[in-house]
C-alpha cells in the first residue's frame, strides 16, 4: 500500500471485475424476482438462503485451481469447531456420510473401545434411513425404542428396558432439531460403558443446558443439505472431542488410508517433501512403502470439494441469524396452532432445551374430524409444501422387512407418527407474508373441516 492506495496483482484486478459482474447479476436477479403471491408462489418448507457472497466465495475457490480437500476445507473445519466449541471437525460430502464414518470409526480396530459385529446399539424407531443404515451396514444389531409423541425422540427413562449384556452403544437423532435428554443419556452411557453417536443433522445450533448438540457424545454428525440450518449445497461434518477417534474418521473418509493430515501439504505444494512418507512401519508391508498407499481401515471416499467449504465459510457467518429466524418462525406457528390443540398434538421441547427447529411438526389427533391426508392435500393444493416425519416407524418401511433388530415394547407412538404426523417449514426464507398465508390457509381448512 502506498499513500493509502492498494496495489492489486493482475489476477486480483481480473477477479475484482468478475466479482463486480456477479454483484450486478445478483442485484438484477433480486430486483426482478417475482414478489410473493398467495396461492401462486410455492411456500417451500426449506431452501438455500444465500446471496452473491456465497457465489463469489465458491468461484474464488474454483479459480484457486485445487478442487479436492485443501485449505478451504481445513478453514471451514476450524471455524465450525470454534462455533460449536468442539475439539475437531471433519468435513464430508453429506450427513449420511457423516453417520457412516462415525459408526464405522467406532468399529475400527484402531479404536480401543472397538464395537464388534453383533453388538447392540439402542436407537429410536422413528428415524432417518441413513441414521439407521450404518448400524446394519456395520453388522450391528439395532435395538429400537418407541419415541415420545411430542418430542419425537426416545425417552431416556426407557434406556434401562433396552439394555442387555450385548449393548455397546446409543445412536440418537435429535429429531427435527429437538434436543434429546442429553444429561440422562450421557449418565446412562457412562454407567453402562456405551459409546454415543449424536445425529445432529437436523439440529445445528440447538442447545441442551447451554451446550451445542453434537458435542455431548463420542461423535456428533451434521448435514449441510439445503434443508438444514445452513447449507453447502450438499455436505456434512463429524465432530469429536476424542483425539483417538479423529484420525480414524479422516482415514475412513479418505479410502481408509494411513495419511490423515487434515490438509495434505504434498497435495497443496508438489515441491513439499513429507518427512513421514517413506517411514511408516507395519509388520506386513515392505519398509519403504509410501504412506500415501498404506491402508489402516476399510474405508470409503466420502470427501467434500473445496468450493463447498468456501460456501460454508460464508454460511457460518450467517448462521446465528438463520437460527434466530427459525426460532422466531417456530414460535409464531406454535402460538397459532395452540388455538387448534383439540385437533393436533404439538411439538414440545424438554426443559433445558433451546432448539434451532428444523421444521414445525403436527400430529393429527385420532379423534379429529379430518385425516392427515385431508389437511396435507389442502395445504399442497394451496401451494404450501408439507413433508412427512422421514421414515416414520422405520421397521415398517419395505427396505427393512428382513433386517435383524430387537424391538423393545410396543412402538405405539412411532406408528401414530407414521400415520398422523407431517411438517411444514420454519426456514429463514419464510417472510411474514408466507406465515400469514399459512395461518389463513389452515384457518380456512379448520373452518371447513370442524
Ligand X SMILES: Cc1ncc(COP(=O)(O)O)c(C=O)c1O
Among 73, 84, 201, 350, binds ligand X (CB under 6 A): 201
* Cell, residue 51: 446471496
CA 431 to chain centre: 24
The span of 152-160, 196-204, 299-307, 337-345 binding ligand X (CB under 6 A) equals 196-204
> What does the per-residue mask of binding to ligand X show for 257-276, with x meaning CB under 6 A?
--------------------
* Dist CA 152 CA 370 (whole Å): 22
The span of 134-142, 223-231, 285-293, 304-312 binding ligand X (CB under 6 A) equals 223-231
CA 350 to chain centre: 20
Nearer to ligand X, 96 or 108 (CB): 96
Catalytic (active site) residue 228: yes
CB of 90 to ligand X, least distance (A): 14
**Are the beta carbons of 163 and 115 closer than 8 angstroms?**
no
CB of 36 to ligand X, least distance (A): 26
Would you count residue 361 as binding ligand X (CB under 6 A)? no
Comparing every residue's Cβ against ligand X, the nearest one is 95
Would you count residue 206 as binding ligand X (CB under 6 A)? no
Annotated catalytic residue within 87, 228, 402, 447: 228
The span of 34-42, 124-132, 186-194, 303-311 binding ligand X (CB under 6 A) equals 124-132
Would you count residue 36 as binding ligand X (CB under 6 A)? no
- Helices (runs of H) and strands (runs of E) counted in the chain: 13, 15
Would you count residue 305 as binding ligand X (CB under 6 A)? no
Burial letters 124-152, b for 16+ CB under 10 A, else e = bbbbbebbbbbbbebebbbbbbbbbbbbb
Nearer to ligand X, 224 or 437 (CB): 224
Nearer to ligand X, 154 or 259 (CB): 154
Residue 167 CB partners (closer than 8 Å, separation 6+) = 119, 120, 121, 122, 143, 192, 194
Would you count residue 353 as binding ligand X (CB under 6 A)? no
**Are the beta carbons of 361 and 176 closer than 8 angstroms?**
yes
CB of 100 to ligand X, least distance (A): 9
* Cell, residue 373: 391426508
- CA dihedral sign, ordered 340, 342, 343, 344: positive
* Dist CA 389 CA 230 (whole Å): 20
SS3 92: strand
Size of the site for ligand X (CB under 6 A): 15
Would you count residue 132 as binding ligand X (CB under 6 A)? no
Would you count residue 130 as binding ligand X (CB under 6 A)? yes
The span of 90-98, 331-339, 361-369, 427-435 binding ligand X (CB under 6 A) equals 90-98
Nearer to ligand X, 56 or 105 (CB): 105
From the number of C-beta atoms within 10 Å of its C-beta (0-12, 13-18, 19+), residue 114 rates as middle
Would you count residue 96 as binding ligand X (CB under 6 A)? yes
Sheet with strand 141-145: strands edge to edge: 88-92, 236-240, 219-223, 195-199, 167-173, 120-124, 141-145, 406-407
> Which residues are annotated as catalytic?
228
Q: Which residues bind ligand X (CB under 6 A)?
A: 94-96, 99, 128, 130-131, 173, 199, 201-202, 223, 225, 227, 236
Amino acid at each position: 500500500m502506498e499513500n493509502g492506495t492498494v496495489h492489486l496483482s493482475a489476477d486480483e484486478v481480473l477477479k475484482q471485475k468478475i466479482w463486480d459482474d456477479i454483484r450486478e447479476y445478483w442485484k438484477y436477479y433480486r430486483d426482478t424476482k417475482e414478489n410473493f403471491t398467495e396461492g401462486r408462489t410455492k411456500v417451500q418448507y426449506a431452501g438455500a438462503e444465500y446471496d452473491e457472497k456465497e457465489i463469489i466465495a465458491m468461484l474464488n475457490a474454483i479459480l484457486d485451481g485445487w478442487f479436492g480437500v485443501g485449505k478451504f476445507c481445513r478453514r471451514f473445519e476450524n471455524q465450525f469447531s470454534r462455533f460449536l466449541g468442539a475439539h475437531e471437525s471433519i468435513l464430508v460430502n453429506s450427513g449420511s456420510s457423516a453417520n457412516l464414518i462415525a459408526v464405522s470409526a467406532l468399529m475400527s480396530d484402531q479404536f480401543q473401545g472397538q464395537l464388534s459385529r453383533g453388538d447392540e446399539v439402542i436407537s429410536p424407531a422413528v428415524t432417518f434411513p441413513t441414521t439407521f443404515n450404518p448400524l446394519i451396514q456395520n453388522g450391528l444389531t439395532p435395538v429400537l425404542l418407541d419415541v415420545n409423541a411430542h418430542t419425537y425422540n426416545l425417552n431416556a427413562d426407557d434406556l434401562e428396558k433396552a439394555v442387555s449384556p450385548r449393548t455397546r452403544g446409543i445412536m440418537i437423532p435429535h429429531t427435527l432439531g429437538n434436543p434429546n435428554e442429553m444429561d440422562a443419556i450421557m449418565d446412562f452411557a457412562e454407567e453402562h460403558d456405551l459409546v454415543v453417536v449424536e445425529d445432529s443433522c437436523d439440529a445445528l445450533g440447538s442447545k441442551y443446558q447451554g451446550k451445542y448438540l453434537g458435542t455431548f457424545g463420542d461423535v456428533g454428525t451434521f448435514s449441510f443439505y439445503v434443508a438444514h440450518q445452513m447449507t453447502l449445497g450438499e455436505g456434512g461434518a463429524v465432530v469429536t472431542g476424542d483425539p483417538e477417534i479423529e484420525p480414524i474418521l479422516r482415514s475412513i473418509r479418505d479410502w481408509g488410508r494411513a495419511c490423515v493430515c487434515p490438509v495434505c501439504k504434498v497435495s497443496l505444494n508438489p515441491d513439499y517433501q513429507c518427512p513421514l512418507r517413506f517411514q511408516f512401519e507395519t509388520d506386513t508391508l515392505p519398509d519403504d512403502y509410501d504412506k500415501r498407499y498404506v491402508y489402516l481401515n476399510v474405508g470409503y471416499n466420502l470427501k467434500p470439494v473445496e468450493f463447498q467449504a468456501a460456501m460454508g465459510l460464508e454460511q457460518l457467518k450467517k448462521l446465528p441469524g438463520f437460527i434466530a429466524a427459525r426460532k422466531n418462525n417456530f414460535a409464531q406457528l406454535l402460538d397459532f396452532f395452540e388455538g387448534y390443540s383439540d385437533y393436533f398434538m404439538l411439538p414440545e421441547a424438554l426443559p433445558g432445551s433451546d432448539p434451532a427447529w428444523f421444521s414445525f411438526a403436527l400430529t393429527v389427533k385420532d379423534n379429529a374430524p379430518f385425516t392427515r391426508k385431508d389437511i396435507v392435500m389442502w395445504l399442497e393444493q394451496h401451494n404450501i409444501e408439507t413433508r412427512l416425519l422421514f421414515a416414520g416407524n422405520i421397521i415398517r418401511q419395505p427396505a427393512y422387512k428382513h433386517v435383524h433388530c430387537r424391538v423393545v415394547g410396543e412402538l405405539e407412538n412411532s406408528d401414530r407418527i407414521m400415520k398422523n404426523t407431517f411438517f411444514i417449514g420454519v426456514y429463514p426464507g419464510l417472510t411474514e407474508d408466507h406465515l400469514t398465508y399459512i395461518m389463513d390457509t389452515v384457518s380456512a381448512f379448520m373452518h371447513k373441516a370442524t
